[in-house]
Amino acid sequence: MSMIAAFYGSKSILITGATGFLGKVLMEKLFRTSPDLKVIYILVRPKAGQTLQQRVFQILNSKLFEKVKEVCPKVHEKIKPIYADLNQKDLAISKEDMQELLSYTNIIFHCAATVRFDDPLRHAVQLNVTATQQLLFMASQMPKLEAFIHISTAYSNCNLKHIDEVVYPCSVEPKKIIESMEWLDDAIIDEITPKLIAGRPNTYTYTKALGEMLVQQEGGNLNVAIIRPSIVGATWQEPFPGWVDNLNGPSGLIVAAGKGFLRSIKATPMAVADLVPVDTVVNLTLAVGWYTAVHRPKPTLIYHCTSGTINPCNWGKMGLQVLATFEKVPFERAFRRPNADFTTNYFTASCWNAVSHRAPAIIYDFYLRLTGRKPRMTKLMNRLLRTISMLEYFINQSWEWSTYNTEMLMSELSPEDQRVFNFDVSQLNWLEYIENYVMGVKKHILKEDMAGIPEARQHLKRLRNIHYLFNTALFLIIWCLLLARSQMARNMWFFIVSFCYKFISYFRASRTLKI
């Protein structure tokens, strides 16, 4: 029997961010391995016109929860959605709900955050720092609380090349940043943001670092732990390989490449692609929750959930495997045949962006206008290029994270727990994982059925023929223009024609003599 599964068996658990990518897999694993847990409180907000219940219903009826419904038929009775908005003071939790949370919660998993790289500092601070402070204040009033597990990111200190499992202080205290957001206007905040995030690429990584510092400072007597995942990808093994449900990180670029929009990206092929499967992150998170509650380590421990130092993959290997998988499992209705490459300098990247991204989009929008349809490709391409510009920071350099605490935790687990809550990425087969990831993007993000592969292949063949036709026509047009304007071109054309004529005559003559 798994000690960790038994530990959660009687617990009341609060998960923030449970409707997110990581949060869903965390909930699924808890219900599947500890079906007799008491309750999981999830902070949820209405979204896209859906009520809290509708959002929970949609999650429980998704493919991700198919196995849970077999082992925990009453799962819907064990989830308690609580209205909350991290943008609001006191998280907008009602008095009744707050009283219940304070009275019964045993474990908190704080996953909620804004993971956007381009959020204004005020919004990122509100979600990733102020909301964390409010959750810590709630936790300090929970008499039954055994552990507070805070999910940060391995890139919170990406301004450093080697990162240890410690909290690195930020130049300005989190509390001062929180207070200043209350009275500074947006214009001043925009002006000071570059100075505050200095060395980091965006407000996301900066505010995650602030959140860690706040947890360390205001964790008080709480049993707190911090987990830093690197780039969280699709599931590796459980509940099944390849599950992913958002366009963040690699997923969006895999879609863009598979649909033929993405043709080049500035990357360093040998740079470490520090991906970590979401089920690996969840297994580590649950093991940390158990260890923190049972062993109460002091001071606060930080756990790196990364792959680069244990089982490194690089962007070149990943990119080639993604392209190879497209050959086997093409995406439907592609704009062009998938064919992308990494460029290693800005000049080449700019040229490729102009020739292989912007020009085709303009041509295609011109065609849409000619056929009376609304042009959309240029707008989509600009968004994709903007996304790429934000991700490039992370694919053109490598970092090194120490993993002492994570390895220590693994050694503390029983063999059964190491099996059930496996976070040993040394066992990961990258080629197999990446192939499952691409197939998962096709099935779970694009909602494409594998039965449509033959038609997708036919579509790609048609695109190839159109591509050849277009290139031939372009060549002929350019050649005719050259012939019309250049005597040298005409002389060259005459030489080629006469050479071919003589070669054919000689060939015929030699064949006649042989007969």
Ligand X SMILES: NC(=O)C1=CN([C@@H]2O[C@H](COP(=O)(O)OP(=O)(O)OC[C@H]3O[C@@H](n4cnc5c(N)ncnc54)[C@H](OP(=O)(O)O)[C@@H]3O)[C@@H](O)[C@H]2O)C=CC1
Using CB under 6 A as the criterion, which residues of the chain lie in contact with ligand X when the complex forms? 17, 19-23, 45, 47, 84-87, 111-115, 127, 151, 153, 208, 229, 231-232, 246, 248-249
Which uninterrupted H or E stretch holds 224?
strand 224-229
DSSP bridge pairs for 228: 304
What, of ligand X, ligand LJ27NJHV, none, does residue 311 touch, CB below 5 to 8 Å by kind?
none
Q: Round to whole Å and give the CA distance between 411 and 414.
A: 8
Q: Rounded to the nearest whole angstrom, what is the least distance from the CB of residue 233 to ligand X in the complex?
A: 8
CA pair distance 454, 478, nearest whole angstrom: 36
Query: Is 361 strand, coil or helix?
Result: helix
Tell me: does residue 322 bind ligand LJ27NJHV (CB under 6 A).
yes
- The burial class, CB within 10 Å (0-12 / 13-18 / 19+), for 343 is middle
23 binds, among ligand LJ27NJHV, ligand X, none (CB under 5 to 8 A by kind): ligand X
In terms of DSSP bridges, do strands 341-343 and 231-233 run parallel, antiparallel, or are they unpaired? unpaired
Cis peptide before 229 (omega within 30 of 0): no
Longest dimension (CA), the chain: 105
Residue 151 binding result from ligand X, ligand LJ27NJHV, none, given CB thresholds of 5 to 8 Å by partner type: ligand X
- Whether residue 35 is preceded by a cis peptide bond, meaning omega within 30 degrees of 0, is no
E strands, 337-477, are: 341-343, 400-401
From ligand LJ27NJHV, ligand X, none, interface partner of 409 (C-beta below 5 to 8 A by class): none
Q: Which is nearer to ligand X, 306 or 353 (CB)?
A: 306
Q: What share of the chain is helix, strand, coil (3-state, %, to 5)?
A: 60, 10, 30
Query: With CB cut-offs between 5 and 8 Å by kind, which of ligand LJ27NJHV, ligand X, none does residue 257 bind?
Result: ligand LJ27NJHV
Q: Which does 87 bind (CB under 5 to 8 A by kind): ligand LJ27NJHV, ligand X, none?
A: ligand X
Q: Could you tell me the sign of the dihedral formed by the alpha carbons of 498, 504, 505, 507, in that order?
A: positive
Least distance (Å) from ligand LJ27NJHV to the CB of residue 437? 9
Residue 327 lies near ligand LJ27NJHV (rule: CB under 6 A) = no
Q: Shortest distance, CB of residue 61 to ligand X, whole angstroms?
A: 16
Q: Which of 341, 400, 407, 412 binds ligand LJ27NJHV (CB under 6 A)?
A: 341
Burial of 310 (0-12, 13-18, 19+ CB in 10 A): middle
CA distance 201 to 15: 29
Element (H, E) at 276: strand 275-277
Among 116, 337, 443, 459, binds ligand LJ27NJHV (CB under 6 A): 116
In the bound state with ligand LJ27NJHV, the residue whose beta carbon lies nearer, of 8 and 394, is 394
Q: Is 17 an interacting residue with respect to ligand LJ27NJHV (CB under 6 A)? A: no
Each residue 424-463 as x (binds ligand LJ27NJHV by CB under 6 A) or -, in order, gives ----------------------------------------
Q: Which stretch binds ligand LJ27NJHV (CB under 6 A): 85-93, 116-124, 351-359, 367-375?
A: 116-124
Report the nearest approach of ligand LJ27NJHV to the CB of residue 513 (Å): 53
d(CA 139, CA 234): 31
Collect all residues with Cβ–Cβ distance below 8 Å to 87 and sequence separation of at least 6. 123, 126, 127, 131
CB of 284 to ligand X, least distance (A): 12
* Closest separation in Å from C-beta 493 to ligand LJ27NJHV: 38
Interface with ligand LJ27NJHV (CB under 6 A): 115-118, 153, 155, 231, 247-250, 252-257, 262, 269, 316, 318-320, 322-323, 340-342, 383-384, 386-387, 390-391, 394-395
